[in-house]
Amino acid sequence: QGRAVASERAPSMPRQAPSGFQQLGDDGTDSESWPQKMQLMELMDERESGGLRLLSDLTGGGGAEKLASMLGSSAGSGLSGEAADLDHRKVLFGANAFREKEPKSYLELVWDALHDAVLIMLLVLAAVQLPTELVFGKDKSTAWIEPTALFLSVFIIVNVSSATDYVKERQFKSLAAKLNQSNKKVVVRRGEQTEVTDAEIVVGDVLAFNAHSLASLPCDGVLLSGSDVKVDESSLTGEPDPMPKTAEAPFCVSGTDVVSGSGRMLVVAVGPYSVSGKIKMAVYHDEEEDDEASPLFVKLNGIVEDVFKVGLAAAVFCFLAMVALGIVYPSFRGCGEEGCWDFLEVEWLHLIEYMLTAITVLAVAVPEGLPLAVNLALAFSSQQMMAQNNLVKHLDACETMGSATTICSDKTGTLTANRMSVRAVRVGGVTYSAAGDSKRSLGRQLVELLPEKLAHLLAHLICVDTMDESFLEVNEATGATGFKGNPTECALLSLVAEMGYDYAALRHDTPGRSLATAARGKPFMFSSKRKMMSWAVPLPRGGYRVYCKGASEIVIARCDAMLSASGEAAPLSDAKRQQLMETVVRPFAGEAYRTIALAYRDLPGVKSASSKELEATHSTMTNADGSAAYVAETGLTLLALTGIADPLRPEVPGAIERCNRAGIDVRMVTGDNLDTAVAIAKNCGILRPQDLEPDPAHAAGERPKPKRALEGREFRALVHRTHADGSLALDEEGKPEFLQTQFDKVWPYLRVLARSSPADKLTLANGLNKSTVFADAQQVEELRREGIVVFPDRQVVAMTGDGTNDAPALKRADVGFAMGVAGTQIAKDACDIVLLDDNFASIVVAAKWGRNVYASISKFLQFQLTVNIVAVSLAIIGSIVFQESPIAAVQMLWVNLIMDSLASLALSTEPPSEELLARPPVNRSTSIVTRQMWINMLGQAAYQLGVTLFVLFHGAEHFHVLDGHDVDNSKPSVHYTILFNAFVLMTLCNEVNCRKLEGEFNVFAGVCSNAWFVGVLLGTLVLQVLAVQFGGRALRCAEGGLTTHQWLFCVGAGLFSLVWQQALNCYSLLSRRVDARRKRIKKKPAHGGAVKFMSRTGNGFQEFRRSNPYLGKSLSTLRFSPSSKTAPDLISAVAGTGPVAVSRPSSY
C-alpha cells in the first residue's frame, strides 16, 4: 500500500534475501542453526537471575546484536520482510496470537436455554400430560395434540433464544478481530520502519517503542538500544516502581508498559511462548466474563423481579381458584342426608390442566423477553455504531452513553483534523507565512530568504529532535505523503522536506542520533510534565549540543538569548520575552495555530552522554507539574517559533450544536496553550456568546468570562488545597489534596482547560462524578440566572484520550473513548469505545445510539407489560368464572413467543431519530416506566380487556356460535378462537403504537425506515392467519378457522387500538397542560408582587418579581433620601411574597 520513508537509512544493506530459508542471517547462518524456541524461552524465564549469563553463553559474549544476527536478523535493518521468511518464523517460533476461545456451539446454547425454570416446568407437565391423557383422557385419538404443541412451543422459544445468542457471540468475535486490527506497532524491516499489527510480529523482528505512543510491549525481547527506558512491570511482578532497562538489564517482558524513554528491542518470544502468554494460557480455561450490571440492567432486573412476584401470585391464585371451584366445591356441593359425593368420582385429571394453566400464566407474566430485547438492542446498536466509526468494547457503554451529560474532549485530532502543517515561522526576527507568498511554499521561502547557516540549523534541529517513530510515508499509487507517528513532529518534518533536506540522511549523518552511534546521544523524551522534548548530541569540536522543542511559553521562559537574522545570538531580556508573547505567540494562537518553540544550548564541558551534567536538575526552575527542570534544558538560545495549523473538522461545529440541544455539555481539555484553545473553542461552538465578554485590549475584541477558560496550573490551584506560597498541599498518600466543594464552584463555568496534564483529566472525571451541585437549589438557581443549566442528577462523564497517561481518566469516566488512529494501546485497553476515525462527530453518534438503546427497551417494555396485564387479567377472570383460562396454554405460549422474540426483534432494531437529541439526557435515578408509558399501557390494557371480556361473555350470542365454556373441552370452540384472534391482532396493532413513547400522534412516522419492524409485523400477521385457519387442535383453534365476518371483527378491534391511542395522546396532552398551568399558578405569588406609589417626582405603578437582600424587612424601617433612590428604583429592588402595602416615608 505504501513505501515507508526510512527514519534512518544505513549506508549499506549487507542482508541477502532468503532463498529456501537458506543464508537468512547476516553472518550467513540458515534457519537450522538458529537458536531454538526453548532456548529463547529459557532466556526470558531466567531473566531475573541467570539471564545475562545465558545470553552470553548463547551468543559467545556478543550480546543482543549477535543474537539478532544468529536469528537471521540485523540490529540495524531488521528482517527482510519477505512473506516466506515471516511464515517460516511463525512455524518455528509460533505466532504472536492466541488460539481464540471458541464460542459456544449451537447445541450448548440450546442446553443453556433449557435451564430456564419456567420452560422446565412446562416440559415436565407436557411429559406428564401426554401419557395421562392417552390413558385416562376422553378422546384418546387427539390426546397427543396439546402436549405435542407444548413441546413444539418450547422448542421454538428455545431455538429463537439460542439463535439470537449464537449470532451475538459471533458478532463479539468479529468486533474483537477488528479491535486487534487497530493495535498497531512499529518494526524495522529492510532498514525501514513499518507499521504492523501485533499478530504480524515474529521472532527476529526489531521492535521500536517509546513511552509516548508505542508504550505497550506485545512480546518478549532483548533491548538493542535505548535511552532512559523504564518499564512498568507491576502487572507481572507487583513491583510498583518502574524498572530501568539497560545493557545490564536488557530483558523486556510482554504485557508490560514503557513509562519513560524510547528504544528498540529484538523480539525473542511471542504469543503463548512469551512470559505473559504462558501465564495467560495457564489460566485460559478459568477466565470468566466480569459482567457488571449497567444502570439499565439494574432497573430492568428490578422490574422483572416485581412482575415475577405479581405473576407468581396470579398463577397461585388461578390454581387455587380452579381447584376450589372445579374440584373441592363440586365434591361438597351434594352433601346432605344422602352423604357427600364420592371423591373417586372427581375428575382429578383436571389438576394437571389447572397446574398447566397456572404455570402458563406465570410464563406469560414473567417478562423473560427483556434480557433478549436488551441484548438485541445493544448488539444491533454496537453493530450500527461500528459502521459509523465507533468500536464498542463493552456493550453496556452504549446504554451509558445515552445518559451522558458531559463530554470532555481532546482538541488535536478529535475536534481538529489532525492533519497538521506549519503555516508560519518566526526566525531571525522575521515572520514567514505560508499565506504570504502564493508562488513559494513556506519551506522554499525559508531556504531562499534565510542565511544558509540559519536554514541548515533549523532543519538539523528538527531532524534530530524528533522521534524515530515519526516519519513520512509516500503512497506509491498517488505520490501523496502521509504522516505516521506524532502529527506535530510530522508537520515539522514535512517543512524540512519542503526546504529540500532529507531528514533520514541528516539523522544518519549526526553522531549521537544515528542508530550506529545512538549510545553517544542522550534523548530527553517528551512528557506531559515537561511539555518539551530534547536531544543531546556531541559536537565535532567537543562538548555537546542540546536541541529542544516544546510549548512556546515554557521554552521562551528558559531562553537567555535569541538568534538574529545574521545568526548571531543576542541577549533575551524579560521585556523581549513579553514582546515575543504579545507580538508573535498570541497572534499565532489567535489564528488557532499551535505554537512550538525551537531552541538549543551548547554544553562545552560535557564529555559523554553519561555525564552527570546532563542529568542535573535546576535548583529553582521547575517543570509544568512543579518538578525540578533539567539544567541542560535551561539557559537556551531561541532559534524559531513555529505556528502549526490543525484545521477544525468541518462537521464538528454542527455536532457540538447538536450536543447543546441534547443537554450535553462539551468541554475542551487540551495540552495546547490557552489562546489557541480559546480560538478553536470559539470556532467550534464550545465557547458560546454568553461565555464571552467585551475586551478592547484583546486582539479579537472579546475574552472568555471568568472561569470559562483556565490553564492547568490555575485549575489545580482552584480545586486543591494550597500552602501560603502557592504550592499544592499533599494528603496522606502524597497526592494533591482535592477539595470537592471548591471544584463544585468551578466546573459549572468551565468550558476550556488548556495546558492540562493527564492528572487534570482524572481530577475532572472524578470531580464531575462526585459532584452534588444539582442538590443545592440555591446554587442551581444562581447558575440558571447566568444562563448555566445544571442537570438534575449526578454527572455522567464521557472522556476522550489518546495517550498512555490518559488511561486512568478513561477508566474513571463513565464512558472512555480512545482514539483508534492516534491512540496508544494502553489507552485502547482502558477505554469502553474506540473512535476509529478520532472524530468528535462520532461521539455524538454514540450518544444518539445510546439514547436509542434506552428508547428501544422502553418501547418493548411498554408493549410487553400491556400484554401481561391483559393476559393475566383474563386468566384470573376465567379461572374464577369458568375454572379455565379462555386462552389455552398453548395459545398463551404462542402469545409469549410473539412478545419475547418477534416483538423484541422488531422494537429493538428501531433506528435512532434526530428527535432523540432534542431531549435532555436520561436521568439515571428515575424509573424507566414514565408517566406517558403508564397512560399508554393502562389505557391500551383497559381497551383490550374490554374487548376480550365482551367476546368472553357476549361473543357467543353476538356471533351466533356455541359458548366456549359449554363446548366439550376436547374440541376447540369458535367462540374462544375469536377471543384469541382478537387479542393477538390488538396486540400486533399496539406494537405500532409502542414505537412512540412521548405521546406523538403520528405513530407511523419513520416506520418504513425499519425493514426489521415491517418484516416482523407482517410475518407475525401471516403466522397468526395460518395458526387460526390451519392450526386446529394443535393451537386450540376451531376446525376450519373463522369466517369473514369474524375476521372483520377481529381486524377492526385491532385497528381501533390505533384510534384509541390518539384519544390517550389527547388525554395526556391536556393533562400535561393542566399540570403546567397549576404549577405556574402555584409559583406565581412567590416571585414578587406589585405596588402603587406616590412621591414628589410623581405617581405610578411598579411590578417586581426578583428576590433581593431586603426580603423579609419592612419598608417602613428603611431610611433613604430623594437623592439616593427614586421610588420606582427602590421598589424594583425590593422583593416580597405577593402584594405588599407600602407606607410613604416622610421625605416623600
Over 708-762, what HEC string results? CEEEHHHHHHHHECECCCCCECECCCCCECECHHHHHCCCCCCCEEECCCHHHHH
The overall average pLDDT reported for the chain is 80
pLDDT, position 979: 93
Task: Tell whether the model's pLDDT for residue 246 goes beyond 90.
Answer: no
What is the pLDDT averaged over residues 1012-1018?
89
Task: Tell whether the model's pLDDT for residue 943 goes beyond 90.
Answer: yes
Task: Tell whether the model's pLDDT for residue 715 goes beyond 50.
Answer: yes
What is the pLDDT averaged over residues 502-511?
91
pLDDT, position 622: 86
What is the pLDDT averaged over residues 49-65?
87
pLDDT, position 366: 65
Residue 465 known to be catalytic? no
Closest CA to 195 of 514, 484, 488: 484
- Give 891-909 pLDDT, tens digit per residue: 877 777 666 667 877 888 8
pLDDT, position 431: 92
φ/ψ of residue 84, rounded to 5: -65, -40
pLDDT, position 946: 94
d(CA 885, CA 365): 14
Name the residue with higher pLDDT: 6 or 425. 425
d(CA 231, CA 240): 10
Which of the four pLDDT bands, split at 50, 70 and 90, describes residue 550? very high
What is the pLDDT averaged over residues 217-221?
90
**239 Cβ contact list (under 8 Å, min separation 6):** 233
pLDDT, position 744: 93
Cα 103 versus chain centre, distance: 25
User: What is the DSSP secondary structure assignment for residue 669, as one 8-state letter?
Assistant: E
CA end-to-end span of the chain? 90
83, burial (CB in 10 Å: exposed 0-12, middle 13-18, buried 19+)? exposed
All three cell numbers of 1018:
407482517
- Rounded to 5°, the CA angle 626-630-636 comes to 110
d(CA 409, CA 392): 18
All three cell numbers of 851:
439514547
Tell me the percentage of the chain whose pLDDT exceeds 70: 79
Closest CA to 1006 of 776, 852, 793: 852
Contact 951, 979 (CB under 8 A): yes
In the beta sheet, which residues pair with residue 426?
Answer: 431, 641
All three cell numbers of 313:
401470585
In the beta sheet, which residues pair with residue 257?
Answer: 216, 232
pLDDT, position 105: 86
Three-state SS for 186?
A: strand
- Give 334-360 pLDDT, tens digit per residue: 555 555 555 555 566 677 777 767 776
d(CA 346, CA 325): 12
Which of the four pLDDT bands, split at 50, 70 and 90, describes residue 968? low
- Give 96-133 pLDDT, tens digit per residue: 887 766 778 888 888 887 887 666 766 776 677 677 66
Q: Beta strands 430-433 and 471-474: pairing type?
A: unpaired
pLDDT, position 577: 92
H or E, element range at 408: strand 406-409
Farthest-apart Cα atoms in the chain, separation = 133
Cα 340 versus chain centre, distance: 72
Which of the four pLDDT bands, split at 50, 70 and 90, describes residue 282? low
H or E, element range at 694: strand 692-694
Catalytic-role residue among 85, 116, 410, 760 = 410
Three-state SS for 451?
A: coil
Which of the residue ranges 126-135, 828-837, 986-995 would you say has the lowest mean pLDDT?
A: 126-135
Task: Tell whether the model's pLDDT for residue 19 goes beyond 70.
Answer: no
- Give 3-13 pLDDT, tens digit per residue: 344 444 333 33
Contact 75, 12 (CB under 8 A): no
What is the pLDDT averaged over residues 695-707?
80
Of the CA atoms within 13 Å of residue 865, those in its CB half-sphere come to: 24
